[in-house]
Amino acid sequence: MLKEIELKFKLWQLVFYELGLFALGILVGAYWAGFFTNFLELLALIAVLCLVYITVISIRQIKSKK
């Protein structure tokens, strides 16, 4: 069974992390553009679902701390 780990980051650290992921995504997409063209709809759906999930979790955590 996996243990839950609580990590805390400052906002600038999260921005740095997200910028790295963004750059990596552009790099991979540019390098393998022909491959990913076949999966654009699926990738867009995954992105939307993940972003909505993280947004909902964040809003719940903010509301519970008030």
Residue 14's CB is within 10 A of a number of other CB atoms, namely: 10
Confidence of residue 2 (pLDDT cuts 50, 70, 90): confident
Listed in sequence order, the residues at least 6 apart from 28 whose beta carbon sits closer than 8 Å to its beta carbon are: 36
Confidence of residue 62 (pLDDT cuts 50, 70, 90): confident
Listed in sequence order, the residues at least 6 apart from 63 whose beta carbon sits closer than 8 Å to its beta carbon are: none
pLDDT, tens only, 4-42: 878 888 999 999 999 999 999 999 989 999 988 899 999
Residue 66 has pLDDT above 90, yes or no: no
- 8 Å CB contact between 55 and 62: no
Look up the pTM and report it: 0.64
User: What is the predicted pLDDT for the residue at 4?
Assistant: 83
